[in-house]
C-alpha cells in the first residue's frame, strides 16, 4: 500500500472536500480523486461519502482513519530513528493560550530555521488536560503551568518563564493600594480549577483577603478586557505579551512576596520523539527563564 494514499485520505477527511485537500497537498483534484479510488479498491470498501463538493468518511472510512493516522505517525518515527540526526519527524506539541501568543512564535521561528525538516503540530488547551494527554502519549510534549504537585519520575520538566502575580486594575485606580483594591472592588477571579488560578487563590488566602467575587474565568485575555471595561479588578500572573490590544489597565506590584506561576515544557522520558523534544529545547528555548519585574505600569 502506498502511504501517500493514506496521507491523501486523511487530508480529505480533515479538509472535508477533495478540492481543499488537493490544494493542501499541491495536487490537482483529479489526481487526488484517482488516489482515493485506488485506495478504496485496495481496501475493498468505499471510504468516502460524497455530497456535492463536500465529503465525509463512510462507515469503513471512520473505522480506519484513526489507525491510518497511527500508522503514518509510526512510519515517521521509524524514519526519524533511522535518520542520521533524528530530526525529521513530527512533534505533537500542546500549549496553553498565553504560550501560543507569548512564547511559541519566537521559539518556533528558531526551530524552523535550525531544523526545517521538523514538523510541529500544535494542540491548544489548558494545563490540566495537556498534562494528561502527554502522559497518555497523545502528545509528545506541552508548554503548561507547572502543577502544584510533584510530577512522576517518568516526566521531564524545563522551566521557560517565571510569572509573578500582579494586581490588575482599571487605569483610573492605579494609585490605590493593591490589597485594598483586591478586598474592596468587585473581583474577577482567575479560575481556581486552573493551576495558575490556584496560585492566585493561595496568595489571597495567605494575605487574608476576601475579595468581592463578581466573575470567575479561565481566560486571562478576557479578564484583562473586563478589567479595562471597569467591571472589577483581578489578581493574575504577568503573562508574556502581547496582551489584548487597546486596553488601558494598571499592573500593580504586590506588597508581599507572591508565589509565581511557572511556565515550562513537560514531556515523558519514554516518548519515541525524545530527540525531537531535545532539539526543540536546544533551538527554541533560551537558557535562562524570563523573569519579568512587576511594577505600577500600564498595559
The whole-angstrom separation of Cα 267 and Cα 271 is 8
pTM confidence score:
0.71
Mutual angle of helices 29-43 and 18-25, in 10-degree steps: 110
204 touches 218 (CB < 8 A)? no
pLDDT digits (tens, 9 = 90+) for 242-282: 999 999 999 999 999 888 999 999 999 877 788 889 888 88
Mean pLDDT of the chain: 87
- pLDDT value at residue 252: 96
| Mean pLDDT of the region 144-159 | 92
Examine the pLDDT at 295 and tell me if it is beyond 70. Answer: no
Q: Residue 80: which residues within 8 A CB-CB, separation 6 or more?
A: 86, 87, 88, 89, 272, 273, 275, 276
Examine the pLDDT at 7 and tell me if it is beyond 50. Answer: yes
Share of the chain above pLDDT 90, in %: 52
For cell 515550562, name the residue: 264
- pLDDT value at residue 81: 58
Looking at residue 290, what DSSP letter applies? Answer: B
pLDDT digits (tens, 9 = 90+) for 42-58: 989 999 998 777 888 89
Kindly report the backbone phi and psi dihedral angles of residue 182, in degrees, each rounded to the nearest multiple of 5, phi listed first: -65, -30
pLDDT digits (tens, 9 = 90+) for 117-147: 888 989 999 999 999 999 988 899 999 999 9
Chain CA centroid to CA 190, Å: 18
Q: Which domains does the chain have, with CATH numbers?
A: 3-80 (1.10.10.10), 90-162+262-298 (3.40.190.10), 163-260 (3.40.190.10)
44 touches 74 (CB < 8 A)? no
Helix and strand counts by DSSP (H, E) for the chain = 11, 13
Examine the pLDDT at 66 and tell me if it is beyond 60. Answer: yes
Cell of 261: 506561576
- DSSP-derived secondary structure for 240-267: PSPPPTT--EEEE--SS--PPEEEEEEE
Nearest CA-CA partner of 290 in 98, 97, 113, 149? 98
Amino acid at each position: 500500500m502506498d502511504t501517500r494514499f493514506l496521507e491523501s485520505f486523511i487530508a480529505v477527511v480533515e479538509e472535508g472536500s477533495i478540492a481543499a485537500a488537493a490544494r493542501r497537498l499541491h495536487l490537482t483534484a483529479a489526481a487526488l480523486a484517482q488516489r482515493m479510488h485506488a485506495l478504496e479498491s485496495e481496501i475493498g470498501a468505499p471510504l468516502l461519502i460524497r455530497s456535492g463538493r463536500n465529503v465525509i468518511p463512510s462507515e469503513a472510512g471512520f473505522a480506519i482513519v484513526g489507525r491510518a493516522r497511527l500508522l503514518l505517525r509510526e512510519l515517521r518515527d521509524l524514519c526519524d530513528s533511522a535518520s542520521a540526526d533524528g530530526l525529521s519527524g513530527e512533534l505533537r506539541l500542546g500549549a496553553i493560550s498565553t504560550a501560543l501568543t507569548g512564547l511559541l512564535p519566537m521559539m518556533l521561528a528558531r526551530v524552523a530555521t535550525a531544523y526545517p525538516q521538523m514538523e510541529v503540530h500544535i494542540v491548544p488547551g489548558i494545563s490540566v488536560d495537556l498534562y494528561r494527554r502527554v502522559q497518555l502519549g497523545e502528545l509528545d510534549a506541552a508548554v503548561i503551568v507547572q502543577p502544584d504537585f510533584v510530577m512522576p519520575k517518568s516526566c521531564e520538566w524545563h522551566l521557560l518563564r517565571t510569572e509573578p502575580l500582579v494586581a490588575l486594575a482599571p487605569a483610573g485606580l492605579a494609585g490605590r493600594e493593591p490589597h485594598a483594591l483586591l478586598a474592596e472592588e468587585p473581583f474577577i477571579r482567575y479560575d481556581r480549577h486552573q493551576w495558575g488560578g490556584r496560585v492566585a487563590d493561595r496568595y489571597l488566602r495567605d494575605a487574608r483577603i476576601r475579595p468581592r467575587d463578581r466573575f470567575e474565568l479561565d481566560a486571562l485575555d478576557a479578564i484583562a478586557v473586563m478589567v479595562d471595561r471597569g467591571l472589577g479588578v483581578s489578581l493574575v500572573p504577568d503573562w508574556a505579551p502581547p496582551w489584548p490590544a487597546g486596553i488601558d489597565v494598571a499592573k500593580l506590584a504586590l506588597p508581599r512576596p507572591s508565589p509565581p506561576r511557572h511556565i515550562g515544557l513537560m514531556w515523558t522520558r519514554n516518548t519515541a520523539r525524545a530527540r525531537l523534544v531535545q532539539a526543540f529545547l536546544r533551538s527554541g528555548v533560551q537558557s535562562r527563564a524570563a523573569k519579568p519585574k512587576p511594577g505600577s505600569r500600564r498595559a
